[in-house]
Amino acid sequence: MDDNTLESELKALAERKNAQIYEIDPHEIVVREWVRWRCVFGCKGFAKHLSCPPYVPGPSETRALLKEYSKAYIVHFKGIPGMEDIDPTSIPEDWHPFLERLIRWIGDTVYELEQHAFYRGYYKSLAFAAYPCIYCEECVAEQSEGVVDLSLKRNCRHAEKVRTSMEAVGVDVFATVRKLNLPIEVIPCENNAYGKITHTDLNSYGLLLIY
């Protein structure tokens, strides 16, 4: 299969999933140390999901990975499925399950894009989702007490499908998508309260590495 045919198929698949793809040179993807630090200091999902730090590779490994690719696509997701308006006061403290439809939409879509490319002969294809994983009500990592043990990944119930997010492995999503003039802003939260988002006009992004 030639590259143009694959791109046409990927675009059509993304559109059927209400998403859009945009080509980006993998060398234009920005990886920074501070991103990983924000996962450690600022996210309640740290060490609670096998798709998040410390269970996933860090920035140095991400930089090394990107050097092995010459073609990639940013995947754009706009809005929250099934939500046109939102009341910040209705969002629970544990907002992660509240956004399940959004997170599954992204995870399912990037996985299908990756698998489509893979089975068309692009065997290096690798996808990245967004937000902490939501495929289980409670991750085996969160159920485990005591010292963080990386071997827990072997117990992942959806290992074939779970993909880490860009931010989890050190990608500066803001700087990267702005290179393509795509919209992205810090999501405003009521009274600056963690997770109390004030509108549903969100722009979320995944990534698909091809070859």
Summarised one tens digit per residue, pLDDT across range 59-88 is 999 999 999 999 999 999 999 999 989 999
Look at residue 97 in the predicted model and tell me its pLDDT. 87
Summarised one tens digit per residue, pLDDT across range 6-42 is 999 999 999 999 999 999 999 999 999 999 999 999 9
> By C-alpha distance, which of 201, 191, 208 is closest to 89?
191
- What global pTM score does this model have? 0.95
> By C-alpha distance, which of 98, 65, 69 is closest to 83?
98
CA atoms of 68 and 111, how far apart (whole Å): 20
